[in-house]
Amino acid sequence: MSNRRDSYVFGQRRPAEATEQVVQRPAACPFCESKAVGTLAKVITASTYWRCQACGEMWNPERLQRTTLPPRRGSSW
């Protein structure tokens, strides 16, 4: 029986703990700064998705760090 926490990397099965670093729970939502955030993940890693219970936004810390918004240059109209 396969363990759900196992991951396949280039045809090799490795436990998730060996491939991903465990990180801490976010203190607040990065969008509305509410402290009401949660996840369904059993193991919290940088790729864990979080949902804000106040605004409904979903994110994960790893993708949030890679995403950069272009600077605002005023209205285009």
Kindly state whether residue 45 falls inside one of the protein's structural domains: yes
Kindly state whether residue 52 falls inside one of the protein's structural domains: yes
What distance in Å separates the CA atoms of residue 16 and residue 23, rounded to the nearest whole number?
13
> Residue 57's domain spans which residues?
13-64
Report pLDDT digits (tens) over 21-30. Answer: 668 899 999 9
Kindly state whether residue 2 falls inside one of the protein's structural domains: no
Higher pLDDT, 72 or 25: 25
Kindly state whether residue 1 falls inside one of the protein's structural domains: no
Q: How many domains, in total, are found in the chain?
A: 1
Kindly state whether residue 35 falls inside one of the protein's structural domains: yes
Q: Tell me the two tokens of residue 61.
A: 């810390």
What distance in Å separates the CA atoms of residue 45 and residue 74, rounded to the nearest whole number?
37
Q: Are 49 and 39 in contact (CB under 8 A)?
A: yes
Span 1-18, average pLDDT: 52
How buried is 50 (Cβ within 10 angstroms: 0-12 exposed, 13-18 middle, 19+ buried)?
Answer: buried
Kindly state whether residue 74 falls inside one of the protein's structural domains: no
